[in-house]
Amino acid sequence: MTDTHLNADITILGAGMAGASMVHLLEPARQAGLTVALIDRQPLVWNDATDRPPSFDGRATALSWGTRQILEALDLWQHISPWACAIDHIQVSDEGRFGQTQLHASEQSTDALGYIIENHRLGHGLLNGLGEARGLLSLAPAEVTQVTMNADGAGLQLSDGRTLQTGLLVMADGGRSPLMSQLGIVQQRRPYGTQALVTQVRCDQPHEHWAFERFSEDGPIAFLPLHSHDYAVVWTLSDDEMADALAQDDATLIARLQERIGYRVGRITDIGERLTYPLALVKANEQVRRSLVLLGNAAHSLHPVAGQGFNLSLRDAAVLSEHLNRAVREGRQVGDLQVLMGYLEQQKTDQRNTILASDLLPRLFGSRAPGVAILRDAGLLGMSAAPVARRLFARHAMGLGHTAAKLG
């Protein structure tokens, strides 16, 4: 007989990148006897690498070196690394101008500057082992239709008639959750007036672990290494330019991409499925309340040009779990507002700096104003000539410019 009234100490809403990571990070709390519920609208695929986990789409994600360190600490990197392509070199250039700089892993004394991985591969790695995880209550597929905050935390009404009472609700169900508006949480949304075109291309020469960021007259474009001859492409275009790009046949779009990136990647021979989505800076006006935390895109959604969205969310999750696991050891309530505010206070500088950089880069490198272009090129040339500046820029991109969370 199915229980109609469920209980969990911590409930994570959403089994995407942020939510799945959070379950692993809360292992100390689960080992101490707490129950963690994981709710997702889609059924979860734990171990079948031939299927795409429903919560993970066909795009690719940039993983920073700092993210690798967190995943290694969670014993997850071994399940992800076979599918992650290392970035050993990054070239940043300005089309038709002299501005250019290069970053190299060898200058940072690390194996790589970062990694690129297809989302469904990352999904399998993050979900690995959760099917048998101690203290985990998996509710998927299941949909929460209503959330009511109460004296004991949060009461959740499920669409199948069941209810769940939890001491802490972690909302990691994306940036367009109807439950946020139900709770009166407002998102500040500033559209960039552009869209991202995401695809994969194959070239006639191997990428040799080079990534290319190029600021073209159409908009910033990134070629990120995937398989030996393949790149994940992210191209920022205006609405009108996007309509033209989507209407073009493969040969025409390949020629246009080739013109923008040049022949540094070799000759583009094939192009894959095209995906698009509008770009905006999104921030929730509040991230914590008593017994409530927003995580991942529910808390903030960034421009993809800097590749910091998941990396920031994972650092958020790591710091949050540090405070929650400590609260459990100290016998405190996980939904205590002071516990949650402690997390936010510790993570606010990292969030502010990462959001600022991710917002500044597309506006700086997307501008066609002559004065801005001159400053932009001067900055790139200056960085190329200054190893210290180049190292600082690389450390930020690698997710190392902050105090690491204490895991466990």
- Give 186-227 pLDDT, tens digit per residue: 999 989 889 999 999 999 999 999 999 887 777 788 999 999
Residue 181 lies in a domain: yes
pLDDT at 356: 87
Please give the Cα distance from 27 to 30 (Å, whole number): 5
Averaged pLDDT, 387-393 = 50
pLDDT at 407: 73
pLDDT band at 294 (very low <50, low <70, confident <90, very high): very high
Please give the Cα distance from 30 to 38 (Å, whole number): 13
Residue 177 lies in a domain: yes
CATH of residue 167's domain is 3.50.50.60
Residue 24 lies in a domain: yes
Averaged pLDDT, 232-260 = 93
Please give the Cα distance from 136 to 297 (Å, whole number): 23
Cβ atoms of 217 and 96 closer than 8 Å: yes
Query: Mean pLDDT in the chain?
Result: 86
Q: What percent of the chain has pLDDT over 70?
A: 83
pLDDT at 304: 83
Q: Which two tokens stand for residue 21?
A: 């990571």
pLDDT at 101: 79
CB count within 10 Å of CB 75 equals: 12
pLDDT at 323: 98
Please give the Cα distance from 263 to 243 (Å, whole number): 25
Of 295, 290, 323, 324, which Cα lies nearest the Cα of 310?
A: 295
Higher pLDDT residue, 2 or 11? 11
Q: Which two tokens stand for residue 268?
A: 């583009």
Q: Give the domain extent around 110.
A: 5-188+280-397
Averaged pLDDT, 271-283 = 91
Please give the Cα distance from 397 to 183 (Å, whole number): 35
Higher pLDDT residue, 383 or 354? 354
**Quick check: 127 pLDDT over 70?**
yes
Higher pLDDT residue, 332 or 306? 332
Averaged pLDDT, 18-31 = 97
Number of domains, the chain: 1
Q: Which two tokens stand for residue 152?
A: 């004991």
- CB under 8 Å to 108, separation ≥6 — which residues? 65, 391, 394, 395, 398
Residue 289 lies in a domain: yes
User: Residues for the chain: how many in total?
Assistant: 408
Averaged pLDDT, 162-173 = 97
CB count within 10 Å of CB 329 equals: 11
Residue 202 lies in a domain: no
What are all long-range contacts of 313-316, with beta carbons under 8 Å and residues at least 24 apart? 313/17, 313/18, 313/21, 314/17, 314/18, 314/21, 314/67, 314/70, 315/66, 315/67, 315/70, 315/347, 315/350, 315/399, 315/402, 315/405, 316/18, 316/347, 316/351
Cβ atoms of 312 and 328 closer than 8 Å: no
Q: Which two tokens stand for residue 6?
A: 């469920």
Cβ atoms of 363 and 373 closer than 8 Å: no
| pTM, entire model | 0.89
pLDDT at 391: 52
